[in-house]
Chains A and B, each alone.
Chain A
Amino acid sequence: MAALLEACRLARSYGEGSARVDALRGVDLRVERGEFVAVMGPSGCGKSTLLNVLAGLDRPSSGEVWLDGRRIDELSETALARLRRRSIGFVFQSFNLLPTLSAVENVELPLLLAGRGRRKARRIAVGLLDELGVGARPDAAPSQLSGGQQQRVALARALANSPDIVMGDEPTGNLDSVASREVLGLLAAARGRGQTLLLVTHDARVAAAADRVITVRDGMLAEQEGLQPARRVTLPFDPPARS
């Protein structure tokens, strides 16, 4: 498999002098196209920072990030925004839906940004909501939806432009066990359609569904410290791989 995402000697620090915190310390990472990678580690170890830097939401202090053969850490804010709208879908723990837009409007936003016509964008957004099980309430405001429903809408928004990679920061962290299971099934389905997944999680079930688990400790990957990577586990809700 060709590498979709690569990080080389990635470092990110905050503050200066004695207040300086090194959140990432020379991380090397390679994610293959179509791979499902889970990132685990204790709180404060730097896994969210790693995800943010890889998604172009934050800039590294040093090192390089490459996406589909293109170096992205040096791109301008505008170029990064254009890259995110087509190539990266992002799911947050706290959903981060826009409160003044309806569910379907939240989903169609990236489609409109990508230049789709309004009608087509609406059709695709409604189809995605149907597929993710919230098609019955497309015009509901986020505040009118349950946590699980909001995360489905957020997932639909992340998947709207069929990005090369979907990244998630604790996407099941705010959900109960039933909703977590459902969202995980939807992520697995996306992966089944060939999309690459990179999820930060504390949830063992998510890790178990991944092709590969990387562990972050003190701003470094455990593998780099010579730790044993997690093994692949197949769960009952895993969809069959696309032929």
Chain B
Amino acid sequence: MTATVVKLAFAGIRTRLLASVITVLLAATATSTIVLAFEVGASARDPWQRTFDAANGAHVLADVPTEADARDIAARPGVAEADEPTPITTAQARLPAGTEALLIVGLDSRPTVNVPIAVDGAHDPGAGIVLEHSLADAVGITVGDTLRLQAPSGPVDLNVVGTAISPSVSRYPRQNPGLAWVSRSTLEAVQPDSSQWNWLAPIRLVDPTLERAFADDVFRSFPPRTVYTITAGEQRENTLIETQPTSLILTTYTIVILLVVFTVIGILIGARASQQRREIGLAKAVGLTPRQVSTIFTIETTTLGVVGLLIGFAVGVLAAPRLAQPTFATLLGTPTIAPNPIHLVVAAIPILLVLAIGAWVSTRRRSRLSVVGAIRSGAGRPGSRSRIARLADRAGASLPLALGLKDLLAQRGRAALLSAAIAATTGSVVFALCMKATLDAPASNVVSDVPAELPALVYTLDGVLLVIAVTTLVAVTILAVREHVRDFGVLRTVGFTPRQVTSSLVSAHTAVAVVAATASIPLGIGLYIGMYGAAGGDSSDLVIAPWWWLGLVPTAAAVIVSVSTGLPARIAARTPIIDALRYE
């Protein structure tokens, strides 16, 4: 019997191609977002380590007030290697976007610890200046340009001879002020007052695992607020923090997508189970129990889910380096593909659970019909009568709309799931619009610290959700059309024109979409505020999308739903009446 159940399940996959494709698409999308969230961070760890190794990075980098302090730290027990103390000071630089502060490091000779790694041009500043690579990128300065620094004695023009990266520096403007390397003599020319200098002591330890303890010891040995230390672990975290917004967005979308998956699977399987009451009856007539009938649907859905999982895992692993790209403005090498099977397992648990529960719940009730009742049903079962539809009727809705609403809302569960799927999708669009409004809010002459890929990622995920929602709508409409082909024939017999029949289906779906999309506006705003707060965002920077952007959401939902339901409805409405009346 088990073999029969499995065989029936796989037969179902072949015969219901559209629903099968949607299920795979849903599972793949959900998986890829989960895997991306994990892999984005992981893909940047190796390049940071490569950069650290190439730079002979400092296990502890101390910023202290005097050269003597720096030498004192370098002489402490546990130090394996230390460079000559390097002076550092702040200068005002005239950048293309305006005047900004720069941290300039004065190099006496080629350092041996925490070495800047040249990306373009020379690594030795000589009489010019080497800019940190992400700073140069962000402000639009290239090798060969001239940079003017303000010195007490007047402006100092320096030739940009190169750009470089360092494992201790995160991407500008998260690292703000930006960093630059000059010769010791240039630093003295820019800031002759040595009391305005600080000193860097890059330290490598005999036992790198003691870096935290060493840094704490240094910190405690100086008066408060006179010393600053950063360990290698903190340098790495600071650099990798670039991937946090991406991971946060991906996590949010994972939750939204899982909700959409649950509702869409409920819709698809529920609608299909309704449509297949006859087959369910026949299956029961030959001896299958309700549990076995539900098992058929559950096996079918979870099998498709496994296919989607594998596709989504591959997509996630391949896309992660691209999404981690912003971090590489400060790192050596390219992002690595680091597929981790544990991520696949972590993604599989919620997705397969959602798919299996969705399939089981939506078929369990329908498989309990009596055999005769199930077999007898050629057309869709009459649903309950909706108060909302009656109210719309009394409020003077057009005849096709009133009729379409009565019909759509008669299947309460499906109407609720359809509304939920639309609301979840449009809610995520509202989320994206609010994020775009926040990103657009800063003045145009301030460099944003948001990776350029982040908005693109959000729009891509919105696009995926939109595709899912539209595909689901088409699938639901096709199922609804199939269920009502005979009713359409009856309507045309009593005098409905094909256009009126089409209108009844399209207008009802559109009305539901508009209501769901409107309700999703506060949902999306709430989600955005919640996620912004969870990400530690400053509430004074939070910007809600303008009302007219939000007003476009229900309008766009109405247009998309009208278009996506229009075609199957038109085809059904033009079926010859006699064929429609014979349809079972």
Contacts and interface: CB of A to CB of B under 8 A. Distances in A.
A81 B498 contact: yes
Interface stretch (A95-103, A126-134, A183-191): A95-103
B385 A109 contact: no
B495 A113 contact: yes
Given A58-B577, A113-B399, A77 B497 contact: yes
A141 interface: yes
Contacts of B493: 55, 57, 84, 90, 96
A38 B62 CA distance: 106
Interface in A102-117: 102, 105, 109-110, 112-114
B494 A92 contact: no
B380 A99 contact: yes
B431 to A, nearest CB: 36
Nearest to A100: B410
Interface secondary structure of B, over-half rule: helix
B578 A110 contact: no
A100 B494 contact: no
Contacts of A112: 399
B189 to A, nearest CB: 86
B488 to A, nearest CB: 10
Given A57-B577, A101-B406, A141-B382, A81 B399 contact: no
A102 B385 contact: yes
B59 to A, nearest CB: 74
Given A84-B494, A113-B494, A57 B578 contact: yes
B581 A84 contact: no
A141 B383 CA distance: 10
B413 to A, nearest CB: 15
Contacts of A142: 382
Contacts of A43: none
B53 to A, nearest CB: 71
Interface centre among A52, A55, A81, A114 (most CB of B within 10 A): A81
Interface in B196-218: none
A58 B576 contact: yes
Interface centre among A59, A90, A113, A114 (most CB of B within 10 A): A113
Contacts of B581: 57, 92, 96
Contacts of A143: 382
A114 B486 CA distance: 22
A38 to B, nearest CB: 21
Nearest to B402: A112
A100 B574 CA distance: 22
A52 B385 CA distance: 32
Nearest to B382: A99
B574 A157 contact: no
Nearest to B577: A57
A77 B574 contact: yes
B495 A82 contact: yes
Contacts of A212: none
B492 interface: yes
A86 B494 CA distance: 9
A57 B496 CA distance: 12
Interface residues of A, number: 32
B379 A99 contact: yes
B7 interface: no
Interface in A41-59: 52, 55, 57-59
Interface in B44-76: none
Contacts of B495: 81-82, 84-86, 110, 113-114
A77 B499 CA distance: 10
Given A98-B487, A100-B407, A101-B406, A78 B499 contact: yes
B491 interface: yes
B496 A99 contact: no
Nearest to A53: B578
Contacts of A101: 403, 406
B411 to A, nearest CB: 9
Interface string A74-95: 0001100110111000101000
B490 A78 contact: no
Nearest to B409: A100
Interface string B459-496: 00000000000000000000000000011011111111
Interface string B490-519: 111111111110000000000000000000
Contacts of B410: 100
Contacts of A57: 493, 577-578, 581
B407 to A, nearest CB: 5
A11 to B, nearest CB: 16
A89 to B, nearest CB: 9
Contact of B494 (A58, A59, A110): A110
A85 B494 contact: yes
Contacts of B497: 77-78, 81-82
Contacts of A157: 494
Nearest to B581: A96
A118 B489 CA distance: 23
B236 to A, nearest CB: 63
Given A78-B499, A81-B492, A90-B493, A58 B578 contact: yes
Contacts of A118: 393
A169 to B, nearest CB: 10
A157 B496 CA distance: 14
Nearest to A59: B576
A97 B493 CA distance: 11
A5 B464 CA distance: 57
B504 to A, nearest CB: 11
Interface in A173-216: none
Given A81-B495, A102-B385, A113-B496, 8 more contacts: A52-B578, A57-B581, A78-B499, A84-B492, A85-B496, A96-B490, A113-B494, A157-B494
6 contacts: A81-B492, A98-B490, A99-B379, A105-B406, A109-B399, A109-B494
Interface of B: 379-383, 385, 393, 399, 403, 406-407, 410, 486-487, 489-500, 574, 576-578, 581
Ranked nearest first, the 4 interchain pairs of A and B with the lowest CB-CB distance are A85-B495, A99-B382, A81-B497, A100-B410
